A = this chain, B = another copy of it.
Amino acid sequence: MICGRTEKQFMEEVERFHGFVAPGLLIGGYMVDAIREKISEKVEADAIVETAHCLPDAVQILTPCTIGNGWLKIVNLGKFAITMFDRHTFKGVRVYMDLKKLGSHKNIYNWYMGLVSKKDLPKEILIGSILEAKKDILSSKEVVLREHGKRVKKSTVAVCENCHEAYFASQGDVCLACQGKDYYEITR
- Where the two chains meet, the residues of A that have a C-beta atom closer than 8 Å to any C-beta of B are 17-20, 22, 25, 48, 50, 52-58, 60, 64, 66-71, 74-81, 83, 91, 94, 96-97, 99-100, 112-114, 141-149, 152, 154-157, 159, 164-168, 170-171, 175-177, 181-188
Some 24 contacts from A to B, beta carbons below 8 A apart, are: A17-B66, A19-B64, A48-B183, A52-B67, A52-B152, A53-B68, A53-B70, A53-B154, A54-B69, A55-B68, A57-B66, A60-B66, A77-B177, A78-B175, A79-B177, A80-B166, A83-B183, A94-B186, A97-B165, A99-B166, A113-B157, A144-B187, A146-B183, A146-B185
- How many Å lie between the Cα of A64 and that of B145 in the bound state? 33
